[in-house]
Structures are given as structure tokens and as C-alpha cells.
Structure 1
Amino acid sequence: MSYFRMSLRKLLTRLHLILGLGTGLLFFVIALSGAIYTWEPEFSRLAYHQAVEAQDKPVVSIADLRNSLEKTFPEGDFRTALYRDPESSIEVLLYAPGTYYLAQLNPYSAELIHLQDMNKGWINYLKKLHRNLLLGELGREIVHWVTLLAIPLLVSGLVIWWPATGRPTKDKFFLKTTGSAKKRNYDLHSVLGFYVSWVLIFALITGIYWGFSPVKETIKLLSGENTIAWETPRSEVPARPVENDGILDQLIADYRNTFPKSEVRIGIPHSEEDPIHLSVIDPGKGLTAINHYYHDQYSGERIEGVFRNGLSSEISTFNAINGMVYEIHFGSILGLPGRILVCMAAMVAASLPITGLLVWLGKRKSKRV
């Protein structure tokens, strides 16, 4: 039995080495970009100039936003408008051929503050670096497989960390400030690797959920999502055309008064049967707490039914899991402390291929001597 355990340990050590050398550089890029991207909301607020000076006056109308954008960016197709707190811009989503834009407008004057092509800019390149290494679909597949291979890399590392005989002693849990540089580097790899493993496992599992459709489809099947008969909200088309800008403005005003501490996004109808789609977002409660409402674009009456995106209290099991995956991956499920924890774990994870390579090179050098 002892011989079997030693053989298994040697096998896992070999596996850890091969996987580490084979995926180390890619894992470094993915982990480091993920750590930085954890702070995307804060970066976006600065880079996209979302902060404005609050004024004691009503916010501008949808018509004002549309007129401002038609003058400054006529090729943009107005899709949604996001109303936030009094010190934040109104964010308008615009479609354009081959891309989409986010426009930041002053909520009190409708002045265009910033227009961002969401396929360009360093924040978007950072997101693509994390998701596909800036290599498109090929890079996306590479990221998915590196994420999958990181699971046995993580497990084998934990097995190697555990002593071959007995239980781990106190020195296995702490970094040493004395000893040779070689020993300190080994501790950086071993001790820090042990601690971040318990955070990384969640990031890796959620990454696998996104990367491999059979995983998502299996959860969809087990949750009963495929058996739900979702309805589609539709407006009743009147005999005569009706101008709906007034209805849009009234709905925005009503929802902002009803939910004063929430952000409200309104979707602009683009076909005769499209409803007006309003999303009420509590920034502190995550994706699964978003409430979706639908109104007839001609009468303003609320449309009720069994909708895929509906009230948070009626969310399906699969949609709840789907929303939680993103929040777990970036730590936002625990608020700011969770994001800090994931960022730090990802930074340490990015260091592991470097310290691991130095450990391997040190052992090779010792064997030559």
C-alpha cells in the first residue's frame, strides 16, 4: 500500500510538472488579466467619464437623448438607456455595423460626454485578453482548455503539498523569511499555492461552465429549464400609429420614483410588437436580483406572463445558477471583500507558473552538480 501511494505521488508530481510547463505562460496571462479585470466597474467609471456633478433639476427626456445623439453620432441605433444615481451619466447603448457603443450623456443637459466603441479601448482589450487571448474563437478554445487542465494541476499540487507521511506541520502553512533564495521561492510556490487553491477552484469551475456547452446543457436539463414554456411579451398594435416617447418618459419617471435607490434601464422598442422593457437593478445585490418589467409601447400598460427574464422572485433555477456563475467568478457575490479576495488569489495564481518554473530549474541544476 505504501509503495502504491509513493508511485501515485510520483505520477501526480510528474503530471503537475508537465501541465505546469505546458500551460504556465497561458495560465499566467489569463490569471493576471482576470485579476486586473476584477476592477472593470471602477476602471469604466474613470475611463468612460461616467461621473457628473449632481444638479437640483429633472433629468432629460428620451427625446432629448435621441436628439443629442442624432447630432453627434447619427449612425448609432438607439437601443437602451441606463439611468443611475444623480452623480452618474445616463448610459445609452447604440448598435452600429460590426460593433456596439456605450454613450455617456449628461443627465441634466443631454450633452454627450463620452462615446466608446466596445470593441476597442484598453478595458475591452483586457476583457478579450482574459477571454480569448486576443485570438478570437481559437483563443477562446485555448482559454477553455487551459482552464480545464488547471483543475488536475490544482489537485496534484495539493497532493504534493501534503506530506508523504503523516500530517502537515506548522511550517507548511507559513512563509519563511530565512533560508536560501531557493527555499524561499519554493515556499512562495507551495504555501501561497495551497491558500489560493481554495479560491481558484471556484474560478476554474465557473470558467468550465462557460467554456464547455455540455456542462451548461446538463445543468439546464437537470434544473428542468427545458420543460418551462416561456412566453414572449408583445405589444398590441393599434390601428393608427402612436408616438411613444411620452410613454417612455412617463415610465422612466414612474420607475425611478418607485425605486429611488436602484438603477433603471429602459429598452427602446424596434418593431411594432416589441414591448418597452424596463430593468430595475440594485447594484449591491447582483445579477439574480434584477427585476424585469414589460409594458405595451402604445398604451403603457404592464404586460404580465411567464417570461425568461422576469421578476427576481420568479427566476428559474437555471437562470439563478447562470447569474451566480459570473458573480462567483469575479467574487462580486461577496461584494467588495469578495472582489478583493478573487483579485489577490488571481495575482498569486499568476505568480505560480513563475515560481514553479524556478523550482524546476533549481532541481535540474542540482541534479547536474
Structure 2
Amino acid sequence: MKAKIFNSEIPFYELLNNDLSGGEIFTVKSEGLKMTEIEMGDYPEYSEFVDTDAFRDILRAEREKLRYGDSKTVRISSFNINKSKGVLEVGFHPSSYSVYKAFNAIKHYPPQIFYRDAGHGLYEEGTSDWLDTGITGNLIRANHCGTGLFIDCAGPGGVRVIVGMRPNREIIDTHRLFRTYSASGSIDLDDLTPFEGVLREAREEINFEADASQIELVSFGYDSQLGYFQFSFYHRSELSFEEIVTGAKGAKDANEYTSLDPVAFSAENIDRTVRDIAEAPWEPSALWTLVVLVARLILSDGAKKGEKSGVTAARIDDFRNKLEKEIKNRNYESNFKIFN
């Protein structure tokens, strides 16, 4: 099912931590993410579709539009979550960024050109059903793969903040004008795992270095607006926000964003945390990841205080309710599609 900030859904299907009422946030360490390459030929319905003349024509047109060239990426063909073992198994095969763009372009073509139904939905029909199976290879969808990292660091006065990024819409290839992760991007075929992919993005975008053992996967899901899977990571840094901003200057891809922003990350001052998150619209997966991270922060704070589970759960609900209301009060829906 789609993630809900509180009562209202966003266009993102969370697969790791959809239910935040259980008193535990599930995470995956680097050794728990198992990536297995599978031949595209094992999925004949998909491979035959992308080999049609109609699709190839669109693919060629989209490739020519790419300002910075095409890149080799990965397409998710299956996934399986074993929470008791802390393992996420993911099957994939090689793809390209232009394939992802071609599938998004198909949405704007007359429906009679392409075969589609609930089982092969180019749109959203049947999404929750096939996500329940974990078998995605034969679906006529891009199943592109993105990754993002949120960095938790010391802000002014020693309070903890999350680093948010405002993408440069003149450079980033997206129609969205949302705020997003501290660093993010597509997973390249050369990346050994999404852990390595997000650390590469952090180096390229903000000159930030970390080891795979120092970050954790806190969200994994599917963006139903743009049709891609997203791996979302968290890292607690010993650096200050100012040190991270200063270090980011001169990064290889520093032109991909206009600013880095401190976002309050406090269970003690939840109203400020809500205001900072709601101050600007977020990419759906990034917004949900923030909800997960703040919920975990409240759980940790409740445990330190010896709170009863019901009290802590009520605090999490209060945070989510306030955040949803604050986002709606800012009336972003007239310019951004945040809620369904």
C-alpha cells in the first residue's frame, strides 16, 4: 500500500517500513543487501516489448534529448525482504537512463500504440498487487533504480540537523522542483551495490566521504509518479553542517544543486522539526524517509525516558498529523502533486 504521512497518501509505495506503529524501524546494513544479476532474456514479455519498433523509436528520440549523454543503469527484476535476518535480496539486469526516460514518454502517447492492462500497466493499475509478489521483471515498466542519502550532523548551537538539498532545475533532468536528499542519483551499472552507488553520489555532489559500513538502508520503495525504485540511506556524521557545506564547494557535480539546507532533527522540539520539513516540498521518497527517521528518533527518545509504548506511539502519530496539516496549510498542491 502507499505510504501515508498520516491520513493522506503520497505517490510512493514503501516496502521496508510502511507501518510505523509496531515500535520498531527495520534497517539493512551493507552486508544484508544481496544484489544478483539476472539475464533480461529471463523476462521475455519485457524484452520483447523494448525490442519493438515503436519503443525503439521513442528510445532513440529520448536518448537524443539527454544533455549529458546516456548512462548504463540497473533495472530491478525482483526483490525479497527477510526482516528476521535483516536481508534484502534484489535481482536486476542492465538497463540505461534513456530506457527510463522512454517509459516516462510513453505515458503521453495515444493508448492504442502500446498494449497495456492491469498486469502490464504502464501507469499505476495493479501496482500494489505486483509489489506484493516481489516479481517485477516481466512488467512493462522501467523499474529504474535510484538512491539517496540523508546526512545527520551537528547544526548551529549543537542541535542535530539533516542536510537537505535544493536541486538545480537547469541541470537536473526532472520536472520536479522538490527538495531532496543530501546526495542522490541513479544507480550506475558499475556500482557494486546501492550502498556504493549512494556513496559515489555523495563524493561527486558534495565531496562527502563515508564507508558503506557507516550507513544504513532505512527505506526501499517504488515512486509511482515517475516509475522507479528508490533505496534511501541514513548516516550520522561527526562533522558540523558548516563543515559539510564548506567541504562541498568545488565538488565535481556541485552545479547540480542551488543550496544545502539544515533541517531540524529533534524529538524534543517536534514543532520546529515539522516546520523545517514542511518549509518546502520534497521528493516523495525523501519525504517518507524523513518521516521514518523522525519516527525512529522519537522511538529512541521514548526508550531513553522509559515511556510506555502507547505514549511513544501517540507522539509519533502527533508528529505525522502535524506534518501533514502543515504541508497542506502551505497549499503546495496548486503547484506540486504531493498527496494523491
TM-score by length of 2: 0.23
Structure that is richer in strand per residue: 2
TM-score by length of 1: 0.21
